[in-house]
Amino acid sequence: FVGYHNDKVSVAYDKVLAMMRHVQTPVNTRDAGEVLKAALDIVQATPASCAILSTSRCDGSGGPAARVVLQKHPLGMQRQGDAISVLFTTARQSRKYCELQKDGRVALTYWNPETLSYVTFLGRAEQLSPEKSNEIWRDWFLTFYRHGAEEYTAWVLIPETIQVVSIPEIQSTRPDWRPVEIHVTPQGGWRVVCDGME
């Protein structure tokens, strides 16, 4: 397994090296609009099973928890102008539900192993109303929720911060490796808070 994994990483690395030789215009990491577009392009190109939600555990330890969340339509990222939201679901009896009820602050990372790219949305998740949850429900959800819609809950994440790395177009040259990062403004737009430069 380890050898197979190393081979996959090697193939991805070779792809990135090939891309580096052909990249004409890297993303201007001082332009929030360019960074936002690049981040959303990465999210849309990421496989639906490659999104990881991080929460705070509700067992009193205060430690982190993480799990994969499916992003197949109608779930996943939605965009209206500069407003970004992400839909996901969880079972009412799950640990994730408990954690989200206790602390809605989350991080959702999209990782694309084919391009060595990732985008992390940081913000607050809120549970949708039963009416909106019913609108999202699809019969294929029964694969995960055998007792039907009464077992599942739908949530929306509203990102406040977006971090993005996509070698070679968007990467940090800082000693602390802080990624390129944009933050939502009070007016609803986005501003660069870290351009990845030293």
Token pair of 154, please? Answer: 């739908």
**Residue 47 CB partners (closer than 8 Å, separation 6+):** 112
Cα gap 89→154, rounded to integer Å: 4
What is the model's pLDDT at position 6?
Answer: 60
Cα gap 159→87, rounded to integer Å: 11
* Secondary structure percentages of the chain, helix, strand, coil, to 5: 30, 35, 35
Give yes or no for a contact between 98 and 81, defined as CB atoms under 8 angstroms apart: no
**Residue 78 CB partners (closer than 8 Å, separation 6+):** 84, 85, 86, 87
Whole-number percent of the chain with pLDDT over 90 = 73
pTM value?
Answer: 0.85
pLDDT digits (tens, 9 = 90+) for 149-198: 888 999 999 999 999 999 878 989 999 999 999 999 999 999 999 999 97
What is the model's pLDDT at position 49?
Answer: 84
pLDDT digits (tens, 9 = 90+) for 107-148: 999 999 888 899 999 999 999 999 999 999 999 999 999 888
DSSP-derived letter for residue 2 is H
| CA–CA distances in Å: residue 10 to residues 46, 112, 131, 170, 171 | 19, 15, 47, 20, 19
The alpha-carbon radius of gyration of the chain (Å, integer) is 18
Mean local confidence (pLDDT), 82-109: 95
Token look-up 């809605």 returns 104
